[in-house]
Structure 1
Amino acid sequence: MSSSAAPILLLALAGFLIGGAYSTWKTLRWLSISLGACAVLAAAGAILWLR
């Protein structure tokens, strides 16, 4: 994987995780919060990678 593709893939992963967090909010709150935390970590990793 090239170094320019990694942040894009991390941002895509963050978006996927946020969608999962949104869809599970009403049924499994603990899973939704976990997915949201992982999405924040993936987005932060992508931003830090670009710096």
Structure 2
Amino acid sequence: MNAVLPVLLFALGGVLIGGAWSMHRQGASRGALWLVGTLAVLATAGGVLWLIPGDT
């Protein structure tokens, strides 16, 4: 499970980034773009932080 979660978070981040880009091209409001973009950054950052070794 330790190797699966970061991959899922990166995949989610990619889907959200693609969705934000699609929304931008379709003329969505800035608030919606900020929300989806923020969620994409959080998911990607979560994937990166999960891969940082820690003391367990």
Q: What is the TM-score with the length of structure 2 in the denominator?
A: 0.81
Q: Which runs of 4+ in 1 moved over 6 A?
A: none
Q: Aligned residues, how many?
A: 50
Is there any run of 5+ residues in structure 1 with no aligned partner, and where?
A: none
**Sequence identity, in percent?**
46
CA-atom RMSD in angstroms: 0.9
Is there any run of 5+ residues in structure 2 with no aligned partner, and where?
A: none
Matched residue, 2:32: 31
- Output the CA distance in 2 between the equivalents of 1:20 and 1:32: 9
Matched residue, 1:3: 2
- Output the CA distance in 1 between the equivalents of 2:29 and 2:19: 11
Based on CA coordinates, which of the two structures has the bigger radius of gyration?
Answer: 2
Q: What is the TM-score with the length of structure 1 in the denominator?
A: 0.89
- Superposed CA deviations along residues 1-48 of structure 1, whole A, max 9, x for unmatched, are x11000000000000000110111122322111100000000110000
Matched residue, 1:45: 46
